[in-house]
Amino acid sequence: MENSKSQDPRELLAGSRVIVAAESFSLVSLTKEQWSALIRDPELSPRMTAPFMILMDAFEVTLLLDDVDFANIRSGLGQAKTERGFRMLTFDTILDFTHVGFMAEVTRILADAGISVLPLSAFSRDHILIKQNDLANALKALGPHVADLC
């Protein structure tokens, strides 16, 4: 087997399946104070059966929620900034930390097609969020570069 450090990102992408999540997603930007208030109410927690993300950095708390969870917690968000209408594409290829350039190749292909993306990484797989309006064009752009679209 080829050393993963030398594996070309285009080869990795060519062996990837792209899975389009059935759900639509929303991004929410909260201040740390808004976040503290939100988590005090257990009714405003995401379901454990749907994908979600919580990222806290020095500037804000960002939530990624599917539309069901977004609707369930909307009342607790107050004046939080939101951006809705995202679809999640998952690259079903297990990547380790020696793989270099995989997401750069994905974003280059989509940038060439004029599609804005928000890259996300889990421990072993990469994902991107794109706007629903860009989904068809994103799949058309990625299609020739991947093993399968589903």
pLDDT tens string 76-109: 998 899 999 999 999 999 998 888 999 999 999 9
Amino acid at 32: K
Task: Provide the residue count of the chain.
Answer: 150
Are 57 and 100 in contact, with CB atoms under 8 Å apart? no
Query: Is residue 95 located within the same domain as residue 139?
Result: yes
Residue of 102, 90, 93 whose CA lies nearest to 7: 102
What is the reported pLDDT for 30? 96
* Number of domains forming the structure of the chain: 2
- pLDDT for residue 139 is more than 90: yes
Q: What pTM was computed for the model?
A: 0.90
Query: Is residue 30 located within the same domain as residue 18?
Result: no
Q: pLDDT confidence of 6, banded at 50, 70, 90?
A: low
Region 121-146 average pLDDT = 97
- pLDDT for residue 1 is more than 70: no
Q: What is the CATH number of the domain that holds 134?
A: 3.30.2130.10
Burial class (CB in 10 A: 0-12, 13-18, 19+), 138: buried
* CA-based max dimension of the chain: 53
Q: Which domain holds residue 105?
A: 4-22+86-149
pLDDT tens string 36-57: 989 999 888 888 888 999 999 9
Query: Is residue 42 located within the same domain as residue 57?
Result: yes
